Amino acid sequence: MEPVTQIDTPPDALTDTALTDTALTETLLTTLSSYQHLEMGDARALPLAAYTSQDLFAAETARIFRNEWICVGRTEQIGRVGDWFSADVAGEPVVVTRNEDGDIRAMSAVCRHRSMTVAQGSGNSRRLVCPYHRWSYDLDGTLVGTPLMSTPNRADGTSCTLPSFHVETWLGFVFVSLAAAPEPLAPQLTGAADTLAPYEMSSWRTLIAFDETWPGNWKLALETALEGYHLDGLHAGPIADMLGSKGSRFVEATNRWSCFRIDVDFDSELGAPTKPFADAYGGDDATSSPTISIHPHVNISCSPAGAVWLNFHPLDPGHTRVTGGYLVPPSEFERINADPDEFDATRELIAQLNREDSSATIDLQRNARTRFAEPGLLNEREEALVHFYRYLANQLVTTDSTGSIGS
């Protein structure tokens, strides 16, 4: 069986330190292309150079994160008129608002005067006011105030406004796209919505929120979340007792999302209290819980009584901002918040989960420059990784008229 990394490439091409980053990226794109027709039984992990290449990272930023639907938060963050929160999408400062008509808007957070950020963090107000010279904008981004001068138009004579971006909500998640005309998101996620329908996640609340930076490539962080094979290793103890590696299995994937399930042990310490929720769901969810990953960077890992939601935002080839939280039904939100001891225990459990997952990302990134590793054969429980690699190939690989591959 030939390793993926040797398809149409010299055996040492991906470890040759004499290669330029551009040449290395071309080799990596050739490797990604090979996954399009590879059988799962022959599939291996990506070569480690995929996690260190600056050129590949630049291509991912330009072709994926500046064009795709990127999750920036939850609708509960903008539940009232005037609510707003800031976000970063591929290096672009963004502000999401609930306007006077109750609609959700997403726009650039960069002032049209001298490019100061007009909104950072979150708040509630009728105006977004730049802290530099106090230029102010309404919740749709229209410039409405310029102290000590008349309100200017743009150079072409039109009203001065913050550039707006496409925004969609899905099951309570807020997605933004910087693309001029992105394909609507919801129709691409119909199957994922059907899988999560029993959980009624649109109404769930964020019990625990987190915003961390992991010293590792975004793909490494995401790949751990794409499979349940790692559970017995990274999460040995109560977590794996409830949701173990043996009971994990790949279910399905499209070019936009993937799903695997994990059997729940209701005799375990963490599993026993969740059985009433599972019984109420019925069907597959009475015995197992789904994990949905939405390309390029969202992971929603369910258990019967909650879901860990993770967004992986690339910062550079070796660092990833991880945002998200632990979502629970409204009744659980109220119950756990009313019990300080249980709230603290839940917060520590989620922190432990992130520490254990991030430990893999950190170690893998540290080893990414070793000269003595080659991609290993994937387990059947890791099939979602192959579909993710195919997604990357679809987004990154172009073929010119001669059949040559490039970015």
Q: What is the mean pLDDT of the chain?
A: 91
Is the per-residue pLDDT at 330 higher than 90? yes
Provide mean pLDDT across the span 50-67: 96
186-370 sits in which CATH class? alpha beta
Q: Are 118 and 129 in contact (CB under 8 A)?
A: yes
Provide mean pLDDT across the span 49-74: 96
Instruction: Name the token pair of 289.
Output: 């819980």
Residue 147: per-residue pLDDT: 93
- How many angstroms separate the Cα of 399 from the Cα of each of 3, 147, 311, 407? 23, 53, 30, 9
- Confidence label for 26 from pLDDT (cuts 50, 70 and 90): confident
Provide mean pLDDT across the span 352-370: 97
DSSP letter (8 states) at residue 106:
E
Is the per-residue pLDDT at 18 higher than 70? no
Nearest to 217 by CA among 49, 370, 27: 49
Give the position of tokens 């730049």: 130
Instruction: Name the token pair of 128.
Output: 């977004």
- Confidence label for 250 from pLDDT (cuts 50, 70 and 90): very high
Q: Decide which of 216 and 3 is more confident.
A: 216
106-143 per-position pLDDT tens digit: 999 999 999 999 999 999 999 999 999 999 999 999 99
- Confidence label for 11 from pLDDT (cuts 50, 70 and 90): very low
Q: How many CB atoms lie under 10 A from the CB of residue 102?
A: 8
Which residues have CB under 8 Å from 317's CB, separation 6+?
A: 51, 52, 53, 54, 56, 57, 217
Provide mean pLDDT across the span 78-85: 98
Give the position of tokens 């959700």: 104
Residue 15: per-residue pLDDT: 44
Nearest to 217 by CA among 310, 328, 296, 314: 314
- Confidence label for 399 from pLDDT (cuts 50, 70 and 90): low
Which residues have CB under 8 Å from 332's CB, separation 6+?
A: 207, 305, 306
Is the per-residue pLDDT at 8 higher than 70? no
179-194 per-position pLDDT tens digit: 999 999 999 999 999 9
User: Could you tell me what percent of the chain has a pLDDT over 90?
Assistant: 84
- Confidence label for 25 from pLDDT (cuts 50, 70 and 90): confident
Provide mean pLDDT across the span 379-405: 81
Residue 21: per-residue pLDDT: 64
- Confidence label for 152 from pLDDT (cuts 50, 70 and 90): confident
Measure the CA–CA gap between 196 and 290, rounded to whole angstroms: 8
Q: Are 136 and 127 in contact (CB under 8 A)?
A: yes
Is the per-residue pLDDT at 402 higher than 60? no
Coil, strand or helix: which one is 265? coil
Q: Are 172 and 281 in contact (CB under 8 A)?
A: no
Is the per-residue pLDDT at 248 higher than 50? yes
Fold of 70-177: Rieske Iron-sulfur Protein (2.102.10)
267-317 per-position pLDDT tens digit: 999 999 999 999 999 999 999 999 999 999 999 999 999 999 999 999 999
- The sign of the CA dihedral 237, 242, 247, 249 is negative
Is the per-residue pLDDT at 176 higher than 70? yes
Residue 22: per-residue pLDDT: 72
- Confidence label for 23 from pLDDT (cuts 50, 70 and 90): confident
The segment(s) of the chain belonging to CATH 3.90.380.10 are 186-370
Edge-to-edge strand list for the sheet holding 136-137: 128-129, 136-137, 143-145
Is the per-residue pLDDT at 403 higher than 60? no
Q: Are 16 and 9 in contact (CB under 8 A)?
A: no
Dump strand ranges (E) for 125-234. 128-129, 136-137, 143-145, 164-170, 173-177, 205-214
The segment(s) of the chain belonging to CATH 2.102.10.10 are 70-177
Nearest to 290 by CA among 312, 263, 327, 322: 263
Measure the CA–CA gap between 150 and 152, rounded to whole angstroms: 6
Q: Are 195 and 290 in contact (CB under 8 A)?
A: yes
Coil, strand or helix: which one is 114? coil
Q: Say if strands 104-108 and 298-303 run parallel, antiparallel, or are unpaired.
A: unpaired
Q: Is the peptide bond before 296 cis (omega within 30 degrees of 0)?
A: yes
Max intra-chain CA distance, the chain = 73
Phi/psi zone of residue 282: left (φ > 0), alpha (ψ -120 to 50 degrees), beta?
left
Coil, strand or helix: which one is 352? helix
Amino acid letter, residue 210:
F
Instruction: Name the token pair of 286.
Output: 């009475």
Residue 27: per-residue pLDDT: 86
Residue 9: per-residue pLDDT: 37
Residue 157: per-residue pLDDT: 60
Measure the CA–CA gap between 63 and 320, rounded to whole angstroms: 18
User: Could you tell me what percent of the chain has a pLDDT over 70?
Assistant: 91
10-19, 175-184, 305-314, 380-389: least confident range: 10-19
- Confidence label for 12 from pLDDT (cuts 50, 70 and 90): very low
Provide mean pLDDT across the span 385-401: 85
